[in-house]
Amino acid sequence: MARVDVERTENGFVARNDRGAEVVMGSGDEQGVFTPVELLLAALGGCNIVTVEPLTAKRGHRLVRLAMAVQAEKVEPTLLGPITVTYDVELPEGDDTADEVFRAVARRVEERYCTVSRALREQTEVRLELPE
């Protein structure tokens, strides 16, 4: 089970996990913070890239560079349009099959193994529990 606690602090909003990591959140007008939408995009990109990297390396194709950009525009004030994940990779020199392996792994990860991708695509139910 995954859990993140989010709270308002004197300095804004903070999300924390049980391993001690923190992410500061705020509005798009504030410097040095992520917006909740940016965190959603980061979660999608992170889920994909941290799964693609070990799978390509395990197949003997350690990529020289592995990065990505994840972007979306709001089509309504509270609705995102399609999310685009764009990889930026540098293949190892002399490795004729690295590109083919990377592309196959990246597609498979996005379609089947990235929990965040699947949650977005399959519209995971969100349940709201309010104090009584």
Each residue's pLDDT tens digit, 1-38 = 899 999 999 888 999 999 999 999 998 888 999 999 99
Entry pTM? 0.91
Block residue for tokens 């917006």? 35
**What pLDDT does 92 receive?**
92
Task: Read off φ and ψ for residue 110, nearest 5 degrees.
Answer: -65, -40
Query: Around Cβ 94, how many Cβ atoms within 10 Å?
Result: 6
Taking the alpha carbons at both ends of the chain, their separation in whole angstroms is: 25
| Residues 85-129: tens digit of each pLDDT | 999 999 999 998 999 999 999 999 999 999 999 999 998 999 999
**What pLDDT does 11 receive?**
80
Task: Read off φ and ψ for residue 62, nearest 5 degrees.
Answer: -75, 115
